[in-house]
Amino acid sequence: MLPAEDLAHWKLEEGSGQVVRNLAGDDEAVLGFDATEEAQDPQWTAQGWQGRPALYFDGASLVSAPPLKARVIEDLTVECRAYLDKGKIGTLVRMNGMFCLDVFPGKEGLLLRFVVWPREVPDKPVSAEAPIAVLPLKEWARIAGVYEQASGKVTLYVDGKEVARNEAGAGGVFTDPRMSVAIGASSGGAAEGSLARGWVGMISEVRLSGAALAPAGFLPEQ
């Protein structure tokens, strides 16, 4: 049984084909993205987590998925099981105007970041950021970003351990999310630099939950 709060859950372990079923619903994630001509399909690899298939993203590829069916989202947890092949700017999971889990350039180097844009205060995004060193290179890791709307707190975790927290948010809910979910790069097309922000490495699982999960509720370690 899947948790009732799951909004979407994709296991990128099909090994072939161009669709990945959403385990939390009836829709599918469609490989490729037609908003920009530069985007390419990621490639299946048999060298994924625990020897299972996974998708390899080369910095110029992404997966897109339909908008979430929920009309209002209060709390939010975004999780990703990923393998960083190269330490560079790259997007893991993003919904434009709502959230982004990515590697982002900071003043003193690259940062692992979870940023949210609550609809009630869209001009005041809040993020939790940590040096990229918290994310192991060429190893699988479970990355999670958690947002609590009542307090506005944003927390970032790697392998179940808190690596960053920001309690300065103003709170607010996400209303009527209609943007598609992008995995592996930005969904903003060339104007937003989607190729420059493409992930280089593997992704095997993504889950979006409409609850502020504690580490005990994250994707399992094994």
Domains and CATH numbers, the chain: 6-217 (2.60.120.200)
Question: What pLDDT shows up at residue 191?
Answer: 40
With bands split at pLDDT 50, 70 and 90, how would you rate the model's confidence at 118? confident
The pLDDT assigned to 193 comes to: 43
Q: How many CB atoms lie within 10 A of CB 129?
A: 17
Nearest to 55 by CA among 184, 186, 195: 184
**Mean pLDDT score across all residues of the chain:** 84
Q: Is the pLDDT of residue 100 over 90?
A: yes
- Average of pLDDT values for 177-187? 78
Q: How many CB atoms lie within 10 A of CB 149?
A: 20
Q: Is the pLDDT of residue 210 over 80?
A: yes
What pLDDT does residue 133 have? 95
Which residue, among 106, 17, 116, has the nearest Cα to 73 in the 3D structure? 116
pLDDT at 37 over 60: no
pLDDT for the residue 35: 44
d(CA 80, CA 57): 14
Q: Say if residue 194's pLDDT is above 60.
A: no
Which of the residue ranges 69-73, 182-186, 192-196 would you say has the lowest mean pLDDT?
Answer: 192-196
Adjacent-strand bridge partners of 126: 116
What is the pLDDT, as a whole number, of residue 67? 78
Inform me whether the pLDDT recorded for 153 exceeds 90. yes
Query: Is the predicted pLDDT of residue 1 greater than 80, yes or no?
Result: no
CA distances from 70 to 94, 98, 113, 134, 136 (A): 16, 13, 24, 32, 34
